[in-house]
Amino acid sequence: MDVDGKLVRDRIPEIISASGAEPITYRAGAAEYRRRLWGKLMEEVDEFLAADRATAVEELADILEVVYALAADLGTTKEDLEATRATKAAERGTFSNRVIWTGVR
């Protein structure tokens, strides 16, 4: 863990307490929360990149949870985020066709 702590899921202190330990926590202010969410996103992406097939989906779920928190911090909802994604997919496509761009002629 980082010397100055790390952002954890809301129920982690409860889980630590249930194990008999006493968690030491505080609530981050808005600017720190945003900074820590960005760091958490990088941490979760790194974990996904290092994951094997057995744990990759779980790591993607962690990334998605951070993305939802970032969206809320930006003042949007999961539903609005999904609508933005769907609009972009309709206009520009998705990544399902595995298209690799190598340049133009």
> What is the chain's pLDDT, residue by residue, as a tens digit (105 residues)?
657 899 999 999 999 999 999 999 999 999 999 999 999 999 999 999 999 999 999 999 999 999 999 999 999 999 999 999 999 999 999 999 999 999 999
- Taken as a whole, the chain contains a residue count of 105
The pLDDT, as a whole number, for residue 2 is 59
pTM: 0.88
Burial state string for 46-77 with b = 16 or more CB within 10 A and e = fewer than 16 = ebbeeeeeeeeeebeebbeebeebbbeeeeee
Tokens representing 53 are: 């097939």
The pLDDT, as a whole number, for residue 23 is 96
Separation CA 57–CA 44 (nearest Å): 12
The pLDDT, as a whole number, for residue 53 is 95
Are 21 and 10 spatial neighbours (Cβ–Cβ below 8 Å)? Answer: no
